[in-house]
Amino acid sequence: MWLFDSSVGRKFVMSITGASLVLFLLFHATMNVVVAFSPEGYNAICAFLGANWYALIGTLGLAFLLFVHFVYAFILSIRNYRARGTQRYAVVERQEGVDWASNNMLVLGLIVIGFLLLHLYNFWFKMQFVEITGIETGPFSPTDGASYVKALFSNPIYCVLYLIWLTAIWFHLTHGVWSALQSLGLSSNIWLPRIKCIGNIVATLIVLMFAFVVVFFCVSALIA
């Protein structure tokens, strides 16, 4: 099967799953910004995306996309590592035009996955999971996500952890977005600088929106 056996197929799967996850991050980041300006609006969005059948299907779909993306990333990294052979032991200068994120995508991905588990525990487990099972996991109701977000990011430790995670996401996305577009055909000399610029803009926009919420509630707690 060419989607698994060929390099082009594997990169195509990586690109499609990655692009889908980026679109989700854009939506998720935009949704999060709402909580700083309208807790009621944020809670309404959470209610819409709670334990409803379409939200559950969406959650399973996202989990599938993330799993496939990670598996294919691991396979590509292993194959690239083997293909370099003895050259991987040589001390060479970094190739021109190859950025740090490009050389460390698997490491960045592992960092992102690690912090994602913390994020799922903090939010999915204590919100959607509670709605699904009815098992209380904390002092906040799953219908009052705004209060929970405020309380969580009033803790400086969590703020620092999330900002570290967002930094890793930024590096991962700055390479991942333009690499996906390149694999999908935008690889000419004219388009390559453009898609790299697009990748930087998209990555920065996503991370700034997420970071804004973290910093907003952290600072609010400090000056309260």
Q: Summarize pLDDT for 152-161 with one digit per residue, the tens.
A: 999 999 999 9
- The pLDDT value recorded for residue 76 is 80
Q: Encoding tokens for residue 82?
A: 């083997």
CATH code, 2-223 = 1.20.1300
How many angstroms separate the CA atoms of 219 and 66, rounded?
Answer: 32
**pLDDT of res. 84:** 61
The pLDDT value recorded for residue 74 is: 83
Assess contact for 68 and 16: CB atoms under 8 A: no
Mean pLDDT of 63-81: 85
pLDDT of residue 88: 45
Report in angstroms the alpha-carbon separations of 166 from 28, 137, 159. 13, 26, 10
Given pLDDT bands bounded at 50, 70 and 90, which one contains residue 195?
confident
Q: Higher confidence at residue 33 or residue 50?
A: 33
d(CA 92, CA 89): 9
Tens digit of pLDDT for each residue in 17-49? 999 999 999 999 999 999 999 999 999 998 888
Share the mean pLDDT of the chain. 84
Contact predicate 119/28, CB 8 Å: no
Q: What is the pLDDT of residue 98?
A: 47
Determine the Cα–Cα distance for residues 120 and 151; give it in Å rounded to an integer.
16
**For residues 83 and 36, what is the distance between their CA atoms, to the nearest angstrom?**
48
Q: Is residue 90 pLDDT above 60, yes or no? A: no
Portion of the chain with pLDDT greater than 90, in percent: 42
What's the Cα-to-Cα distance from 89 to each of 3, 81, 84, rounded to whole Å?
Answer: 30, 11, 9
Alpha-helix residue ranges (DSSP H) falling in 85-190: 100-103, 105-119, 128-133, 145-152, 156-183
pTM above threshold 0.75: yes
Q: What is the pLDDT of residue 219?
A: 96
| H-helix or E-strand spanning residue 43 | helix 39-48
51-55, 65-69, 70-74, 96-100, range with greatest mean pLDDT: 65-69
